[in-house]
């Protein structure tokens, strides 16, 4: 769920040669230090990395669940560490500095209603893969009614315990140990907003996940996603450097083949009835522990999409009595309009 990369390296698609040269030196130096410390080495050849990484495709799931059992086991071990701001989830804590305003400001720009002190009052939000509640809580403090779901029961216990310290949050947030598809039947078109932050790179079936989001979201509701692009840069910095060499996050946190290019995510969303409104790059600086918005989406990115509105109701004037036709003629032009959503 974390994508960490070194702030002293930044490269886009137009600077591939200089990036590779500088990165090779850094990797070789880091590898020598690792050998001295651990007596082991890792391959640092970019050519070798390329040949290995680009032969791997996103695994196809034949299950009827978007939940990956391997991911459950990984995050079960870290369930008690969610609220350690300097621990394994430090980057997610600091990500709130940009993802919460992104969600808040986007929703306010789409709504004419503003509640001073509680700007998201009246909005129902589903936080999918809520973990320990790191994003659910600030959204609840903004006035939203939040439902957080996570398939790891220990995550939900941690989230419930932490919200209990704040009586306001205890009323506004409810948590449930569940996968997304398990709540579809009981929650059809229930939520104004869905957030899936640092989640889609861990699901077993991305297409099913997106379809379930569409089913529980109201027409014209908003979907917010943050995730990791599938690029050479994200492999080297997100997997090799962050996990294998420097140990910034536990090894095995990410699987590069599950990373999702924004183009693929947009295609899946649009084929499921969403309209993608914005895609923005995100950058984490591990030295300062802060996130910022950037133009490049080669590493992390945030996406906002809106589900299509309800289909217009068919006109029935030709089956009405003549008196009813005359009475409704003044409003016939609005018969197919869609009421404003809460978002």
Residue 302 has a pLDDT of 98
Instruction: List, as residue ranges, the binding site for Mg(2+).
Output: 198, 201-202
Instruction: List, as residue ranges, the binding site for S-adenosyl-L-methionine.
Output: 99, 129, 150, 197
Instruction: List, as residue ranges, the binding site.
Output: 99, 129, 150, 197-198, 201-202
Residue 199 has a pLDDT of 96
Residue 267 has a pLDDT of 98
Average pLDDT score, the chain: 78
- Counting every residue written for the chain, the total comes to 343
Compute the distance between CA of residue 303 and CA of residue 281 in angstroms, rounded to an integer.
9
Residue 247 has a pLDDT of 66
pLDDT in tens, 96-125: 999 999 999 999 999 877 777 899 999 999
Contact 281/300 with Cβ under 8 angstroms?
yes
10-residue mean pLDDT profile of the chain (343 residues): values are: 41 44 50 48 44 43 59 73 91 96 96 84 97 98 97 96 96 97 95 97 95 98 97 91 75 89 98 98 90 96 93 46 39 37 37
Residue 242 has a pLDDT of 77
Compute the distance between CA of residue 199 and CA of residue 164 in angstroms, rounded to an integer.
25
Half-sphere exposure of 2 (CA within 13 A, CB side): 29
Compute the distance between CA of residue 272 and CA of residue 207 in angstroms, rounded to an integer.
9
Q: Burial-class residue 205 by CB neighbours within 10 Å (0-12, 13-18, 19+).
A: buried
């Amino acid at each position: 769920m974390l994508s960490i990369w070194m702030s002293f390296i930044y490269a886009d698609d137009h600077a591939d040669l200089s990036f590779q040269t500088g990165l090779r030196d850094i990797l070789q130096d880091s590898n020598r230090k690792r050998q001295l410390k651990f007596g082991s080495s890792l391959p640092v050849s970019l050519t070798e990395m390329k040949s290995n990484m680009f032969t791997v495709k996103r695994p196809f799931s034949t299950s009827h669940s978007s939940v990956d059992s391997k991911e459950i086991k990984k995050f079960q071990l870290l369930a008690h560490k969610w609220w350690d701001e300097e621990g394994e989830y430090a980057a997610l804590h600091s990500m709130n500095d940009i993802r919460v305003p992104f969600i808040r400001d986007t929703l306010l720009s789409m709504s004419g209603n503003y509640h001073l002190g509680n700007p998201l009052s009246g909005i129902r939000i589903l936080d999918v893969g809520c973990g320990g509640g790191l994003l659910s809580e600030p959204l609840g403090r903004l006035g939203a009614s939040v439902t957080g779901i996570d398939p790891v029961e220990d995550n939900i216990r941690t989230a419930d315990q932490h919200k209990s310290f704040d009586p306001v949050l205890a009323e506004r947030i409810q948590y449930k140990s569940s996968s997304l598809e398990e709540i579809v039947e009981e929650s059809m078109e229930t939520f104004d907003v869905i957030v899936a932050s640092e989640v889609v790179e861990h699901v077993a079936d991305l297409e099913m996940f997106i379809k379930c989001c569409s089913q529980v979201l109201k027409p014209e509701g908003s979907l917010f996603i943050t995730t990791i692009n599938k690029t050479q840069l994200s492999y080297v910095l997100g997997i090799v450097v962050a996990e294998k060499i420097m140990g910034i996050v536990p090894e095995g946190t990410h699987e590069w083949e599950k990373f999702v290019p924004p183009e693929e995510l947009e295609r899946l969303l649009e084929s499921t009835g969403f309209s993608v409104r914005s895609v923005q790059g995100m950058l984490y600086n591990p030295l300062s522990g802060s996130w910022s918005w950037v133009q490049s989406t080669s590493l992390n990115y945030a996406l906002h999409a809106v589900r299509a509105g309800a289909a217009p109701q068919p006109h029935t004037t030709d089956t009405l009595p003549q008196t009813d036709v005359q009475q409704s003629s003044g409003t016939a032009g609005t018969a197919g309009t869609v009421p404003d959503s809460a978002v």
